[in-house]
Amino acid sequence: MPMTRRRGMSARMKLTLSYAAVVVISGALLLAAVALWLLRYVPDTADFFPNRSDLTRAFVPVAFIVMLVLLAIGLGGGWVLAGRMLAPLDRIGHAAQLAAQGSLSHRVSLEGPRDEFRDLADVFDSMLEQLEANMAEQQRFAANASHELRTPLAISQTMLEVARTDPDRDVDALIGRLQEVNARAIELTEALLMLSRAERRAFAREPVELSLLAEEAVETLTPLADHRGVGVDVGGDTAHVIGSAALLQQLIANLVHNGIVHNLPAGGLVAVRTHSRPEAVALVVENTGPELPAHVVATLAEPFQRGAERTRDVDHAGVGLGLAIVQRIAQAHEGSLVLTPRAGGGLNVTVWLPHPFPSALRHGDARPVA
């Protein structure tokens, strides 16, 4: 992170003072030349008056020499001053060249008080830091995705090789197992495509009623909840946002699905609530379940982080992208995701999204978020 600097003299003021100093010095030298070499030929008495020729012969050679000296001072001093003033740009240009060659670890790190050049260098350093972090995240994500996709393909290949060499193979069991493996691979591929779409923000924005999407998601997932003995309750305020209905539907479905499959084996509860605040809209999905340590909750939104402490079974292996997709969709809608352990066990997930009409609500109308 860039260091905090005290505000110094601006670069424009430095250049202004530098040029003003050159003009003042030039004028002072000219006046000194007039005083020393020209006015000495004008006596204080009235007995002698120098003519034009006398003044010209005395002044012109000295003025020519002084102009040459001023030219040399101007060129040398201007070269040195410009070099010192523009040195930060050279360092920034060098860092940009290294970044273009793929080296994102280099930083400009200009010293001294703040001015326009140092502000630019700090912004450039922040940009390089963000690019380096994004590049590292993409490389880690690509490696994890490759590993996750390779696993079902390797399992399928092994099963086919075993089946080819086993004359007593159970064809129906083999087909069923291959279907499960392929379904997992398809699920992972669709999740990766959804994640990529959310990160690229490649979607049209339109008014969306978040509470209606929540009701639709709960209705769709009710059979799964009934099968697992988990109750699902939905309610809250009418909540309007601007965004993609398909992506927001996927966001809610992921949260409700996670709340169901990571719940207690039976008798658990998932509560879905929408709240409209004056400046933001909140979607809250709370589920019962086992106790979750804070350090585990902090990593649940990272890609392929499934959380070993969360309840899992053979009915749902998961691909580790549910909350990662939720976070990317929220960020694509200028929102945020907040994960907190629930008192008594389970997880509380809150998605904050910007209110499309912040002036339409009064502060007194806001209700507390459960």
pLDDT digits (tens, 9 = 90+) for 48-101: 666 667 666 776 777 777 777 777 776 777 777 777 777 888 888 888 888 888
Domain that holds residue 242: 206-365
The residue out of 102, 129, 156 marking a domain boundary is 129
Poorest-confidence range of 70-74, 190-194, 261-265, 285-289?
190-194
The residue out of 105, 129, 153 marking a domain boundary is 129
Pairwise CA distance, residues 175 & 2, whole Å: 58
- The proportion of the chain whose per-residue pLDDT surpasses 90, expressed as a percent, equals 12
Q: Are residues 115 and 241 in the same domain?
A: no
Does the residue 166 lie in any domain?
no
The number of folded domains in the chain is: 2
pLDDT score of 361: 46
Q: Are residues 123 and 211 in the same domain?
A: no
- The proportion of the chain whose per-residue pLDDT surpasses 70, expressed as a percent, equals 71
pLDDT score of 101: 83
Q: Are residues 231 and 116 in the same domain?
A: no
Does the residue 53 lie in any domain?
yes
pLDDT confidence of 12, banded at 50, 70, 90? low
Does the residue 159 lie in any domain?
no
Q: Are residues 217 and 79 in the same domain?
A: no
Reduce the DSSP state of residue 125 to 3 states and report it.
helix
Task: Note whether 282 and 361 are within 8 A (CB).
Answer: no
pLDDT confidence of 271, banded at 50, 70, 90? very high
Pairwise CA distance, residues 9 & 116, whole Å: 9
Q: Are residues 224 and 338 in the same domain?
A: yes
Q: Are residues 124 and 212 in the same domain?
A: no
Whichever domain contains 302, its CATH number is 3.30.565.10
Does the residue 191 lie in any domain?
no
Q: Residues 6 or more apart from 16 whose CB is under 8 A from it?
A: none
Pairwise CA distance, residues 222 & 155, whole Å: 32
Q: Are residues 254 and 342 in the same domain?
A: yes
